[in-house]
Amino acid sequence: MSDRTPAGQFFDAAITLLQRVRDEEAEPVQAAGALLADTVADGGRLFAFGAGHSSLAAQDVVYRAGGLALMNLLTVPGVVGVDVMPATLGSALERVDGLASVVLETSPLRSGDALVIISLSGRNALPVEMAMKARSLGVRVIGVTSVAYASETTSRHTSGTYLKDHCDVVLDSKIAIGDAELTLDTIPAPFAPASTVVTSALLQAVMATAAATLADRGIEPPLLRSGNVDGGHDWNGRVFEEYRDRIFYQY
């Protein structure tokens, strides 16, 4: 490590990763934004899913001031991880075959919708099966993952494939295997994960692209405003009413 403080080193690592995804993922971000814009324009609905800490990035684009009102959270009970006891149950559920199919068959997803699936490793059965099942239903899939895992780990899905193999668009977060950016001689394990920072930034870049793409087509993007600014609740109420058949978190 350099002479900089651990905090400074972490910021430097995160900034470097953000610069990489900005420069190297520009085309996939544009493609993902266009896919979401196409879905909105065609009357489809938007969903996001993530297990474990990947759920944080999914939650960040749902019911979000400045975000697309049509983005809904696809939930799988227990897989957030830290909301169940023991927390390790969430990790175990990610490896259960068949769970994703049951979830999608009982969810509101339908042909013509779009689903963002976030999985850092992309190796577990749940995200792989979810992508496969969603596409078989006619749902378009955007995967957010670290592609490096596919070359250095073993898939936990029976097909031997990864999330990246079953997506219409793949966004590579560039996160190193293990998701820890720093090391120190006095600490026996690497530390300071950056996947949440990078993944959330990637998805917000996609949302911004989708909103601008819709506007370029002459379609007002269904954006939410903060409820803590004057007029925000009235604005959101209008959006909720206009798109009530495509928003599932308000009921």
Q: What does 36-51 look like in DSSP terms, one character per residue? A: HHHHHHTT--EEEEE-
Residues 194-212 have a mean pLDDT of 98
Identify whether the C-beta of residue 227 lies closer than 8 Å to the C-beta of residue 65: yes
pLDDT attached to residue 1:
45
Does position 96 have pLDDT exceeding 90, yes or no?
no
Identify whether the C-beta of residue 127 lies closer than 8 Å to the C-beta of residue 149: no
Q: Which of 1-5, 67-71, 163-167, 183-187 has the lowest mean pLDDT?
A: 1-5
pLDDT attached to residue 213:
98
What would the two tokens of residue 114 be?
């779009």
What pLDDT, in 10s, does the model give residues 35-66?
999 999 999 999 999 999 999 999 999 999 99
Distance, CA of 219 to CA of 228 (rounded, Å) = 26
Residues in contact with 81: Cβ distance below 8 Å, sequence separation at least 6, in sequence order: 51, 52, 53, 55, 87, 88, 89, 90, 91
Does position 2 have pLDDT exceeding 70, yes or no?
no
